Amino acid sequence: MRKKLTCYIIDDEHLAQKILEKYMAKVSFLELKGSFESPLEAVAHMSEDKPDLLFLDINMPDLDGLSFIPMLNPKPMIILTTAYDQYALKAFDLEVKDYLLKPISFERFYKGVLRLYQESNPQHQLEQIEANAAPKHEQEYVFIKVGYSIQKIAVRDILFIEGMKDYLRIHTAKEKIMTLLSFAKVEELLPDKKFARVHKSFMVAIDKIEHIEKNRIRIADQIIPISDTYADTFYKMLRDFND
């Protein structure tokens, strides 16, 4: 079983605490161990709880967040939560994992914690979690690892996927996204019966096909070949798609 990330919130603003607590309650891989109004209050419990992740405000009475970080040993992962952007450079010199500007949206919060969870569970790094928990035929989006980040992609926007040596290029209605994922892993992530492999270098969204002629598919301005290897399976999927 994958380990949850245990968390502390350290923030002297009551409303900010409540917002973060509400966000955490929506995310199955986070476990809140305590909310505190100051680092001095939190440190008394840290040796026992040993949290994996701190959500840490910067401007607080008695001891500010940036001064508190060098005192931590061992140091958990840290996400700074602040209304001020001028501390970002110093924060990353202290090797914080993320810098969230208040007011914090849930989407931005989720993107940050998802990345940390994936890094903490590398063997499961690209599995579906949380956002992909719905039945695959109903899911609206997937999370794909792109470089050092995780990108949310709406399933309805995907036109086709192209193999590019060591990379895949995901062509969407809005952009082209490069990822190191394999076709096999992408097939696991995408909804059943909506995407078909038609060539060793191409996978297509069936509902985006404009026409097929002489084993060639047209999607947008792209002509995509259907190879003999995938032809029978693909045409069977088309028949099933129409049923």
pLDDT digits (tens, 9 = 90+) for 156-208: 999 999 998 789 999 998 899 999 888 988 888 888 788 999 999 999 999 99
The CATH number that domain 5-122 falls under is 3.40.50.2300
- pLDDT for 109 equals 93
- Please give the model's pTM, rounded to 2 decimal places: 0.53
- pLDDT for 122 equals 57
Q: What is the DSSP letter of 140?
A: -
Residue for token digits 């995780």? 150
- pLDDT for 118 equals 83
- pLDDT for 168 equals 93
Burial class of 212 by CB neighbour count within 10 A (0 to 12, 13 to 18, 19+): middle
Q: In this structure, is the dihedral angle defined by the CA atoms of residues 121, 123, 124 and 127, taken in order, positive or negative?
A: positive
Residues of the chain under the 70 pLDDT cut: 1-2, 122-139, 148, 242-243
- pLDDT for 68 equals 95
Return residue ranges of the chain for CATH 2.40.50.1020.
138-242
- pLDDT for 115 equals 85
The CATH number that domain 138-242 falls under is 2.40.50.1020
- pLDDT for 132 equals 43
Return residue ranges of the chain for CATH 3.40.50.2300.
5-122
- pLDDT for 134 equals 44
**Cα→Cα distances 177→22, 152, 158, 192, Å:** 32, 11, 10, 21
- pLDDT for 2 equals 60
